[in-house]
Chain A
Amino acid sequence: MKKVLLVIFLILLTINPLMSVSLKEEARGRAVLTVDDPAFAFTENPALIETKGFAFNLPITANLYSASDILKSNLLHSLIHSSEMDSSELANNILDILRNFYGRTHLITLDEMLSFSIRGFGLSASSYQRVNVSGGSLSTALSLEVGVKLSSILSFNFDFGRDSSLSVGFMPSATYRMQSSEFSIESATNMLLNKNIESSLLFYEGINLALDIGTLLKIPYGFSFALVLRDITPSYELISQTGDRISYSSPFSIDTAIGWGGNWSFVSFDLELGLRGVNNIRNNVDLLKSFNLGLSLGLTRFFEISAGLRAGYPSVGLSIDIFYVEINAAYYWQDFGIVYGLNPRDVLAIEIAISI
């Protein structure tokens, strides 16, 4: 009863933007398809949803992209001491900072999510806000992006006894996306000349419907196998107020994974090897991009270290779980290169989650 009251109270508190992607996933290189944690059901494998009891999850995550570049660029120092610099020094300092954002990357993102599940059925609402940056040097431009996603999961569990079971989960979802055009020096010039912000800044919006199907097979001795059919969805378009269109398509992918884990005394261990998008592998580079590995080492129920490898890039993370509050931190890499491998960006992220 107390749990139910707590949930109702928390839902009332979260009329604000809801939550989203668990940082533990990033820390483990997103190798969580077989991990027995309902927190990953809405983001990775619908078959992971709680089939016997009740689960509630409310994470809020903040990600800072290009973290090392930003720290090295001495951004704070430049801001604090800008009044003491002469014009030339200030201009070159700003230029040095802008040069870090070559290509198209995120600058900062916020994710929020609210999900609960009970006996194989779950609902989730998540939202995200992103500040994207593109260009580099003088042409650096900013754009904004927000999205809201609603998902539900229906899962069936077949128990074969002796630690063996098969779960199948279906997750239809709808995502509303809105993004602005880029705001650059050219846009500013245009705005100054026309004195009309609308002519310089366009907003595109649209809705994407998708279906994910996930399965999880558990066998004795702690082994499990997962197969997820992701983004069974047609391409979709975002349309601006002037009728301009941006097309997107999420390639259908088949993700597979094998995992092993167990608990011994106060130590718990989880290891997973996976291949993402096996249907899209064409060459060695695709294979590298597809491969991911993740492991978690839990020390007591309060403390967990995670590490992973995804598409060639490493990740590490730390989780502290104090009763119903989880604090996660992660450091990972994401590649934004035109040719894969050319433009990796490191991300420093922190998440606070209420999890039951």
Chain B
Amino acid sequence: MTPAAQIIRRSVQTLVAALCLLVARPARGESEATVKAAYLLNFAKLVAWPASAFASGQPLVIGVVGREAAAEELARSFAGASANGRRIEVRHVPAGDTSALVACHLVFVPEGERAESVVGAVQGYPVLVVGEVENFVRRGGTLGFVKESGTLKFEANPKAAARNGLTVSAKLLRVARSVVER
């Protein structure tokens, strides 16, 4: 190979490598998504599901309602973490798909999605419903994120959990910004 060809080849290699680097940079959500993911992990650890909810070796399935991008963002944020020794699996679930919803252990309802339909669909099944729509826990959700002076806090509704056969630990209720029973 001529020296010129070698130079061209080296340049192309470098360029392609640089390009791949740029394209392949894993896209992590903004810190808010990660903070939410971290909360969800804590929730999963501090809520008790009935033993029947898990087949042996089954991962903890988190369903994200609505936008596919929201599910992807959350999945990325988990970065292979586990809760109570269970692997975490994030799925995107269409809001109207009841059978897909009840197949999850935890359903997350992002901003902009309807709370009531999801809450109604999973009522009576061992599914923890977490959301960030305003007044989520007053609309029958179990745990709802709220923003407070730039930080993310949550509210809890233990009665909603009980309706689905779940028990919310006292620690979770203690840290909750407010506890609603309805």
Q: Tell whether A and B belong to one assembly.
A: no
Interface residues, chain A, with chain B CB atoms under 8 Å away: none
B residues at A contact (CB < 8 Å): none
